[in-house]
């Protein structure tokens, strides 16, 4: 399944760290890439590209001006759009995840402080990771983990310079020669 994350509503100056974390979670939890809609500090993009260089990919990082154009392009190629929101169908009590799994291409949208009202209509599914307010980072991680049933945690990243050998004590990092 091809999954791309769309981050909306980034506030320059305020959301730098959390928008970086949205990107890190997207990569680590199995998405193919992240698109930031609107304006974002170049350092967010640089940080994510450095992580891909060091820890591997593939993982695409893009910035595009209009979320409407991004969503419309995605739908034209047969993809579905999932908007994560506390107001949506509860992922635990509904069959929304099963419906989403029927698609081969999923765009997952997470917002910042407040998202545009039209998003609730543009999305094919509005999904709540519980109907309580929390965080886009937590919502994205839980959603992707459930979508991929935990298998994304075993993913082997390509082209990495460093790799961790899991251990019960200390840090075991291996340098990979090209």
SS (H, E, C) 7-63: ECCCCCCCCHHHHHHHHHHHHHCCCCEEEEECCCCHHHHHHHHHHHHHHCECCEEEE
Q: How far is the CB of 113 from ligand SAM (least distance, A)?
A: 6
Binding site for ligand SAM (CB under 6 A): 84-87, 110-113, 115, 128-130, 132-136, 139
| Angstrom distance (rounded) from CA 118 to CA 132 | 21
| Angstrom distance (rounded) from CA 84 to CA 130 | 10
Nearer to ligand SAM by Cβ, of 132 and 167: the residue is: 132
* CA 40 to chain CA mean position, Å: 16
- Closest-by-Cβ residue to ligand SAM is 111
Nearer to ligand SAM by Cβ, of 54 and 135: the residue is: 135
Q: How far is the CB of 84 from ligand SAM (least distance, A)?
A: 4
Nearer to ligand SAM by Cβ, of 7 and 56: the residue is: 7
Nearer to ligand SAM by Cβ, of 56 and 88: the residue is: 88
Nearer to ligand SAM by Cβ, of 41 and 89: the residue is: 89
Q: How far is the CB of 61 from ligand SAM (least distance, A)?
A: 19
Q: How far is the CB of 141 from ligand SAM (least distance, A)?
A: 11
Q: How far is the CB of 138 from ligand SAM (least distance, A)?
A: 7
């Amino acid at each position: 399944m091809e999954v791309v994350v769309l981050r909306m509503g980034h506030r320059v100056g305020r959301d730098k760290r959390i928008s970086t974390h949205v990107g890190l979670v997207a990569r680590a939890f199995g998405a193919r890439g992240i698109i930031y809609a609107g304006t974002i500090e170049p350092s967010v993009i640089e940080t994510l590209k450095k992580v891909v260089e060091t820890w591997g990919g593939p993982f695409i990082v893009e910035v595009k001006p209009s979320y409407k154009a991004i969503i419309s392009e995605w739908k034209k190629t047969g993809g579905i759009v999932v908007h994560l929101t506390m107001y949506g169908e509860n992922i635990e009590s509904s069959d929304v995840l099963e419906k989403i799994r029927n698609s081969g291409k999923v765009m997952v949208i997470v917002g910042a402080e407040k998202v545009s009202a039209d998003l609730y209509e543009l999305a094919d599914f509005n999904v709540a990771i519980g109907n309580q307010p929390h965080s886009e980072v937590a919502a994205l991680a839980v959603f992707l983990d459930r979508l991929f049933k935990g298998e994304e945690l075993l993913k082997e990243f390509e082209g990495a310079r460093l790799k961790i050998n899991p251990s019960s004590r200390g840090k075991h990092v291996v340098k990979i020669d090209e």
